[in-house]
Amino acid sequence: MLGSDVMSRIPLKSAREIETMRRAGGLVAETFRVLEPYVQPGVTLKELDRRAEEFIRGKGAKPAYLGYGPRNNPFPGTICASVNEVICHGIPDDRELRDGDILGMDIGVLLDGYYGDACTTYTVGQVSDEVRALVDTTRACLQAGLDEVRPGAKTGDIGHAIQSLAESRGYGVVREYTGHGIGKRLHEDPTIYHWGVHHTGLKLQPGMVFTIEPMINLGTPETRLLADGWTVITADKKPSAQFEHTLVVTPKGYDILTL
């Protein structure tokens, strides 16, 4: 059971803050729409990154991920570009997309002092039925988690719904990387696990803002961090997919801020 000290660290957002975060989230969604036509064979990850940075800065915002992290190893890109077996935090480089790839693209912005954050997985050209089923299930897992969000529900309900759906279809649920609170900082309390037990965890309250971002693997849930200190891949090198939204808990349920 969470004590009052933990509860007091969960920032509840005001109506003004939520509307500012909706603008930030809206810019994230716009950036996806700008980049989507370029997600095709032959395009490099670095080109997608360049277009994202130009668009975000042109709207008076800053890329949230560029320079994020430790001083001795800050993240070098505007987007996280995670291809095939890369689960998350893929660095955008000169790699060209190929027919049959999947690309998990994670975008964050800082606008008027508040963050927006979302991820979607794109199919590139013609993908196998096995990979398409993985992507479809991951999208459904995000929705299953969203469907649990309402005042009085627990964070464990979100994780349980995601885990139950993914594992019922034979997929692995990544444990080490989670959803998170978000606001004036990119990562705040609470932590949102994508696995869990019903009726456990933190009780949801109106005004809480956080992300749900399940990472679902075609094989086992085990992960491996590469030597660059950022890129996380599946231990068995099978594909992984991810979808993410930023949302606010409302008196009747939830409202997605990254649409």
Residues at the binding site for substrate are 89, 187
Question: Token pair for residue 197?
Answer: 């037990």
Nearest Cα to 169, choosing from 111, 130, 121, 142? Answer: 130
Helix 45-58 and helix 15-35: axis angle, to 10°?
Answer: 140
The SS3 assignment for 5 reads helix
- Are 142 and 243 within 8 A, CB to CB? yes
Binding residues: 89, 106, 117, 180, 187, 213, 244
DSSP letters for 68-87: -S-TTS----SEEEEETTEE
Q: Nearest 5°: phi and psi at 73?
A: -155, 60
Kind and range of the H or E run holding 172: strand 172-173
Calpha distance 29→45 (Å, rounded): 19
Cα separation, 190 vs 158, whole angstroms: 13
CB distance 115 to 182 below 8 Å: yes
**What residues have CB less than 8 Å from 70, skipping those under 6 apart?**
none
Residue numbers in the known binding site for a divalent metal cation are: 106, 117, 180, 213, 244
Residues in the chain: 259
